[in-house]
Each structure stands twice: as C-alpha cells, then as structure tokens.
Amino acid sequence: MYRFDRSEYERRMQWFTHARFGMFIHWGLYAIPARGEWLRNYEEMPAEDYMRYFEQFDPVDYDPRAWARAAKAAGMQYVVLTAKHHDGFCLFDSQYTDFKSTNTKLGRDIVADFVEAVRAEGLKVGLYFSLLDWVHPDYPHYGDEKHPMRNNPAYGNEGRDFDRYLDYMHAQVRELCTNYGKLDILWFDFSYAHMRGETWRAAELVDMVRRLQPGVIIDNRLEVSGEGYGSLAECRPTPYHGDFVSPEKMIPPNGIQDAEGRDLIWEACVTMNDNWGYNANDHYFKPASMLIKKLVECVSKGGNMLLNVGPDARGNIPPQSMARLEAIGAWMKYNRESILGCGKAGLPKPDYGRITANGKKLYFHIYENTLGPLPLLGLRREEIDSIRWLATGAEIPISTSWVHSDYPQIVFADLGPDPVLPDPIDTVIEITLK
C-alpha cells in the first residue's frame, strides 16, 4: 500500500513547481448545446435528452496538435484534458462503456490523439477524470445533491449498486494508467458531502495508480473539492493525499501553508471567462493583461496557474481564447525566466507590482512606474551584483539621485527619464545577487 514519503514526494514534484503554467482543456458533448459543462445539472436534463448530442458529435476541425501548439506558444509547460467529465462521456476508448468518442461520428480515441500531440510539443501530459458519473446506472440519482435527477423521484435509487459503479470507475482509471504511456498528472474531480475519501475506495484507487504510474502527480480532490486543502495540509497524509492543493477560480491571499507552517504546493485552476466548457453566450473574458498579472501573482505566492480553454463543437479553441493565449505568449517570449522555476522572493510586495525569485535571481514585475527612481525594498546595495531589463539584458544602474537622499537604507534603481515603461502590462527587471 502506498505511504507518504516526503523526500520521494519532493522529487516527483520538482518538474511541476518549475513549470508553473499549464493549460486545462474542457471538451466533450456539452460543446454542442454550448451552455457550459454543467448544463445537465443546472437544467435537470434527463440522460435520454442529453443523448442527442452523442448522436450529433462530429467536430470537423478537431486537431489536438493545434491545441498543443497553442499551449506551447503561450509558454505553458503541461496540458490537462478532460478524459471524462461528470456527464460520463469518455474521450477515450474504454472497453467498459459504449458512451465514448470512438462510437461517435468522429470515431477517434481523443485521449490517444491528445497525448501524442502534447508529447510531440515537448509538454507534460495530464488527464482529468471525474469521480462523478451522471449517466452510469449505479451512480446515485434521486437525492444526490449533484445529480441532474436529484429532484426527480422517477429516478429512484432502488437496485443501484454503488460498489458496482466503483468497480467501473476504478477499471476506467486503470485503462487510462495502462493504455496511454507515461502520465505526468492525474486530475481527479471531485469530492462533496459524504462522497469523499474511502467512499471512492480511494486508498485502493491510488495504490493502483501509483503502481501503474509511479511518478504521476495527483491532485487533492479525492478528499476535497475546489475548497479545502486535504490531509497533506493537516500533516496527516492519507494514502490518497493530494500532491497539490487545487483552489478554483481564485488565488490564495497568502499562498497556502500546512499545519506546521510549511509552504504547500498548489495550483489555481482558472477560467478565461466564467465557464469551463464552451458557452456561446459567455462573453465575460478576462483581459490578457489581467491573466498575465494573475500568473505572476500565483508564482510570487509559490503556486502554479492552470488556465482553461473550452473548444467549441467543431473542435476549435474560441478566437477570444486564442487571442489571449497569443498575448500571453508574446509576453512570455521575453519574460519566461521570471516565471519558470520561480517562486516566492521573501521580500515585501512593492506598491508597483510583484516579485518572483529563482535562486540568486530576483524578478521585479513593474505594473506602473514610480515618481523618481524605483525603490528595491528589502535589498542592500552591497548584496546586488547587477540589475538588468529582462527583455533586453541592458544594464540598469543603481540610482545616486539626490531625491532619495532621505532614504539611505533603501536601494533605488535608475530606470531612466522616460515615465512610460517598456512593457505596458508588466515590465520585468532582473536583479542578480552576489
């Protein structure tokens, strides 16, 4: 049985804390009605009505290589695809169900295509798998707080065998861990009410996963949901502890620490608009400038960002999402060193931006210029080896201006006479310590 070993844990997490930035892809039948991935739940739609989308699924522009290239161009280091969402539709060729992509007009094993495309771009591979399944006959229907038929007594639970469902669910996880080569992340979703931990036979499940994929990283949602930290945070890790905490649609105010005060590894999963799956009427897209700054915020607090795209019914990443990925990629082209491998700086947050750090390299992210030279709070002049613009490598001198003579204990950088910063979103200066 798997047992927590901190040194082994820290080894397997090294690439993840270096990567810092990944892509989430939510895609499935729900792209056709285009009202989000939870529409069956919100609309209390019977499975019989949802099946028409299974018959219609024919994404003529489907090209996982385009998805992988878009992720790489944006500076992302890993990609996580919804192999199965709550609707129970499998994007892989499971032998345990007919409700899968190989039985649609597309006729392809989407997971097989995906892992090949992502690996070809040199990115790490992740698969999302829902613990819930709204189509399986043995999953609780009536009275279950998340099931679409929760309020419909015609879908009572007589004759349903939850252990039979768990056998099915475990068998599908075994398929994913066996048939698609090395997996870097397995992203389970999610626990709720009494449906958590050993309700899922989680120790047995994780023991199987660890044997089949010994280096895989697992999220914490066998124990919790988007809220809650899990047993690793409590310093009492269960056999099914999460390797990282998974806050959803928010960034922790101060990072996340365990009960003994150690920084925990975490990843904020974030939508570009308000939905994970494609929603044709959701136009509330966050500006690219905001997403860049939120990525920096995550890294400055010791976390990762997993940024979502929801391809449409034809298989295309929406143009609004592509425009943001391209803008992020343009910024990352010149500033990736301030993200990859970086984390907390241990310095006070400046009024004008944030700080990330990697060893003796400090990266000051400047969102707005200062009046006069730039204060580098927390640093001493004698410990600074050099200051440079990250995008160009040009040297920045330490200021000797009289205007800050009242603050001899603070080091100031002389950014020059232009009040307009080179990058209007986030101008980064690199400080190398001696």
CA atoms within 13 A on the CB side of 126: 23
Beta bridge partners of 253: 255
Sign of torsion over alpha carbons 308, 312, 315, 317: negative
CA–CA dist 143, 152 (Å, integer): 8
| % of residues, the chain, pLDDT over 90 | 99
Tell whether the model's pLDDT for residue 117 goes beyond 90. yes
Tell me which residue has tokens 């129970």: 88
pLDDT tens profile 92-102: 999 999 999 99
CA–CA dist 434, 415 (Å, integer): 21
Which tokens in the block code for residue 125?
């591979």
pLDDT tens profile 321-366: 999 999 999 999 999 999 999 999 999 999 999 999 999 999 999 9
At the top level of CATH, the class of 353-433 is mainly beta
Q: Return mean pLDDT, the chain.
A: 98
Taking the whole predicted model, whether its pTM rises above 0.85 is answered as yes
Q: What are phi and psi of 18, to 5 degrees?
A: -80, -35
Q: What is the distance of C-alpha 406 from the center of its chain? A: 45
Tell whether the model's pLDDT for residue 255 goes beyond 90. yes
Which pairing describes strands 266-270 and 303-309: parallel, antiparallel, or unpaired?
parallel
Three-class secondary structure of residue 376 per DSSP? strand
What residue ranges do the domains of the chain occupy?
6-338, 353-433
Please give the DSSP secondary-structure letter assigned to residue 347. Answer: S
CA–CA dist 162, 159 (Å, integer): 10
pLDDT tens profile 18-48: 999 999 999 999 999 999 999 999 999 999 9
Three-class secondary structure of residue 386 per DSSP? strand
CA atoms within 13 A on the CB side of 183: 30
Specify the pLDDT at position 164: 98
Q: Give the residue among 366, 352, 363 at the shortest CA–CA distance from 424.
A: 366
The separation between the first and the last C-alpha atoms of the chain, rounded to the nearest angstrom, is 47
Rounded (5°) CA angle 238-207-76: 85
| Cβ atoms of residues 303 and 251 within 8 Å | yes
Beta bridge partners of 21: 305
Q: What are phi and psi of 154, to 5 degrees?
A: -65, -15
Tell me which residue has tokens 């892992």: 115
Sign of torsion over alpha carbons 144, 146, 149, 151: positive
Specify the pLDDT at position 34: 98
CA–CA dist 303, 211 (Å, integer): 27
Which tokens in the block code for residue 273?
């608009």
Which tokens in the block code for residue 73?
């161009």
Three-class secondary structure of residue 363 per DSSP? strand
Specify the pLDDT at position 154: 97
Sign of torsion over alpha carbons 125, 130, 134, 137: positive
Specify the pLDDT at position 260: 97
At the top level of CATH, the class of 6-338 is alpha beta
| % of residues, the chain, pLDDT over 70 | 100
Query: Using N-to-C axis directions, what is the helix angle for 162-179 and 202-212, rounded to 10°?
Result: 10
Which pairing describes strands 361-366 and 353-358: parallel, antiparallel, or unpaired?
antiparallel
Which band of pLDDT confidence, cut at 50, 70 and 90, is reported for residue 1?
Answer: confident
Mean pLDDT of 138-145: 98
